[in-house]
Structure formats: structure tokens, C-alpha cells
């Protein structure tokens, strides 16, 4: 599967050695039914193309290209637990070689944390202060759209829960899923 870059920066990313290695990584996680990172990236890019997000398109495409490139660097214990840094931290470190936009870099770092908050809330262990610390500085217009794109071929209840929580806590002024068709 060949990912087609649209800008000089995208070409630089896609032609890099770290992209070649990171996008070739195969995940055994049930969270990614497409397994190959490159297939997941393409699927996100296709989803972004299907949405009326023109003003967000370029940043979202960069997030798609960069957000999972660190997966191949993650180390696991024998029982499958992450040892050391999670993939999002590795991905952020890789992304720093290509972009300097701190808002986008922060989204790369925290792009999947919402799911942990969702699971904690299901167990009655939601930590509102921590949620606000993590998401208060985030560029929510990118993050929420990216979370929908990143999860577009699997469950989206967690993304809708995240958006509801962000709305309830004053981090966003409207719920995207209420204004756009077919997000959830």
C-alpha cells in the first residue's frame, strides 16, 4: 500500500527511513483490526478526505502520518505490558524531526489517552483533575477530529464519551458528533 503525500512536508515524512520502518510495523493489538500501521494510516487519510474538515485537513493528515510511527520502538514484558515509554511518546519524538508545531506534537503524545479515561470511567475511577490537566492544554479541534479519524473502523463510543466529557468540563463549546453526520 502506497501512501500518497500531498505536500513537500508529507513527501519528506513518507520518504524517510523512520516512516518506512514505522509504517511497516505489524500490530497484534485488537485495537487495530488493519494490523499494518501503513494500512491504518491510509484508512485515516481516507476518512479525513470524506469529512468536511478542509481547514483542519493538513494538520490532521500530518497527525495521521506521524501518530503511530513509534509503535515499533515499544518494548513489552512477557505478559504483554509496556516496558518504558508508550508508542505515543516514541511517535512524538519521531514527529519532532519533521514538525515544530507544539499543538500537533502534543496531540501525537496524547492521542490515545482518552481511551484510558473512558475505561477508568466505566470502572468508576474517572479522575477529573487529571483529565483537565491532560486536555486543558490540548488543541481540542484537532484532537477530537483526529480521535474520530483514528477510530473510524472500530468502536467510537469512547470518542463520543470523550467529547461529552470535554463539553461537560468546558473544554469544547459544541459536540462535533451533533453537528456532523455519521461520526458515531
Q: Cα 141 to the chain's mean position, in Å?
A: 13
How far apart CA 68 and CA 52 sit, in angstroms, is 24
pLDDT at 31: 56
Does the domain at 8-179 match CATH 1.10.3210? Answer given as yes
- Asked whether the whole model's pTM tops 0.95, one would answer no
**Residue 9 three-state SS:** helix
Q: What percent of the chain stands above pLDDT 70?
A: 96
Maximal C-alpha separation, the chain: 46
CA angle 51, 27, 149 (to 5 degrees): 10
Q: What is the CA radius of gyration of the chain?
A: 16
What does each of the 184 residues of the chain score in pLDDT, given as a tens digit? 689 999 999 999 999 999 999 999 887 655 555 678 999 999 999 999 999 999 999 999 999 999 999 888 877 778 877 787 878 888 999 999 999 999 999 999 999 999 999 999 999 999 999 999 999 999 999 999 999 999 988 788 999 999 999 999 999 999 999 998 777 7
Enumerate the domain spans of the chain: 8-179
Q: Cα 136 to the chain's mean position, in Å?
A: 17
Complete DSSP assignment for 104-170: HHHHHHHTTHHHHHHHHHHTT---HHHHHHHHTTS-HHHHHHHHHHHTTTS--HHHHHHHHHHHHTT
Which helix (H) or strand (E) covers residue 75, if one does? strand 75-76
Tell me which residue of 27, 32, 33, 38 sits closest to 3, measured CA to CA.
38
Amino acid at each position: 500500500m502506497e501512501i500518497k503525500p500531498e505536500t513537500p512536508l508529507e513527501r519528506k515524512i513518507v520518504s524517510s527511513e523512520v516512516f518506512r520502518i514505522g509504517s511497516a510495523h505489524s500490530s497484534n493489538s485488537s485495537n487495530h483490526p488493519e494490523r499494518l500501521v501503513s494500512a491504518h494510516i491510509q484508512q485515516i487519510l481516507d476518512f479525513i478526505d470524506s469529512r468536511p474538515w478542509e481547514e483542519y485537513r493538513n494538520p490532521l493528515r500530518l497527525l495521521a502520518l506521524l501518530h503511530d510511527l513509534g509503535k515499533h520502538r515499544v518494548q513489552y514484558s512477557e505478559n504483554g505490558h509496556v516496558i518504558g515509554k508508550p508508542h505515543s511518546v516514541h511517535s512524538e519524538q519521531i514527529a519532532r524531526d519533521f514538525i515544530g508545531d507544539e499543538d500537533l506534537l502534543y496531540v501525537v503524545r496524547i492521542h490515545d489517552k482518552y481511551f484510558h479515561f473512558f475505561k477508568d470511567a466505566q470502572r468508576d475511577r474517572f479522575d477529573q483533575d487529571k483529565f483537565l490537566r491532560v486536555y486543558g492544554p490540548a488543541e481540542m479541534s484537532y484532537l477530537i477530529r483526529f480521535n474520530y479519524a483514528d477510530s473510524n473502523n472500530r468502536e467510537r463510543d469512547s470518542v463520543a464519551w470523550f467529547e461529552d466529557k470535554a463539553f461537560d468540563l468546558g473544554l469544547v463549546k459544541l459536540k462535533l458528533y451533533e453537528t456532523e453526520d455519521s461520526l458515531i
